Structure 1
Amino acid sequence: MSERTPAPYAPRSVYGYAMYIGSNMLLLLYLVWAFVPEEFLHEKLGLTYWPSKYWAVALPVWILTAIAVFAFAIYPAINISMTPNIDDLRTITDEYCLERRESIPGGIPPVSDIPITEVCRKLYLQND
């Protein structure tokens, strides 16, 4: 398929189903590891090596902590560092600015951006 589309087609549905089954199996394996006592796993099932039960609690806590630090500290810091200063010209205009053009008297004016000087004049200067 040459174009990218979100519409379902055969390979995408097969991969999606395989990922669904795989993630459910990993969740089931994690729950067995976390909740079934080690004696039962060793004696009844013959499974001799499992990581320590400490990691069943520690891994989710570490992952959630990393997500929280990213969401509440790192991501806002990246956005703040990319924001231009308040006196930078980029805070009031950009390359997509539509300059004001002449319009027909009595007609609808064309779409354009209002210059910041005119906005300030209307908002902050008193009419004489």
Structure 2
Amino acid sequence: MEDPPPVNSPRRVLSLSRKRKGVSSFLNFENKASGLGLSGQHGPKPAEVYGFVGSITTIVATAIFFIWAYFPEHWLHSIGIFYYPSRYWAVAVPTYCMVIIVLGLAFYIGLNFMATPSPTSLNVIFDEHSREPQEFTTSAIEDNLPIEPISDIGINQINELMFRDLK
């Protein structure tokens, strides 16, 4: 007597204790993929290589920056480095970068405040994407729809729900 074919269901539990066709073919694929029978291109992905090179470059650049910024000039001259930027830039460039970031954030927040309508504007309640609730009268349509179509809740319904007890 043969086993029934496995059912593809989200509730099916993968059991390795039984010998199923799906499980054994999955295990065979693992053996083939490990190099026993699968011919393909092996090696690192380009994103991994770029990440590795980027991290090494960042570490080397940071080390060079700290050596240039903190070592005395006679040490730099003793290892053969005679041409380098002024030490002023070791302080100025990070300071300029921080000021640019802070001003950029302030500018972004200001643009958001300018683009936001006032709280008394009707654009806060309705816009071009607003959907009014639809009324369905035929029962055949209601039987086929398990939930109501998506729509916005009217401001009168929201006020009634939130402030009903305050009246």
Using structure 1 for the length normalisation, give the TM-score. Answer: 0.72
2:150 maps to 1:116: no
1:19 maps to what in 2? 54
Q: Secondary structure at the match of 2:85?
A: coil
Equivalent position of 1:90 in the other structure: 123
Residues 31-75 of structure 1, C-alpha deviation per residue, up to 9 Å, x if partnerless?
Answer: 101111112112x1111111111111111111111111222x201
Q: What is the aligned partner in structure 2 of residue 38 from structure 1?
A: 73
Larger C-alpha radius of gyration, 1 or 2? 2
Letter paired with 2:72:
P
Aligned to 2:21: none
CA distance in 2, matches of 1:94, 1:10: 46
- Percentage of identical aligned residues: 34
Q: Residue 100 of structure 1 is aligned with which of 126, 129, 133?
A: 133
**Residue identity in the other structure for 1:70:** G
Structure 1 residue ranges without an equivalent (≥5): 1-8
- With normalisation by structure 2, the TM-score equals 0.57
Taking the aligned partners of 2:94 and 2:75, their CA distance within structure 1 comes to 24
**Alignment correspondent of 2:110:** 77
Letter in 2 for 1:101: Q
Structure-2 change in CA distance of 1:120 and 1:21 (3 Å): same
Q: CA RMSD in A?
A: 2.6
* Aligned length, in residue pairs: 113
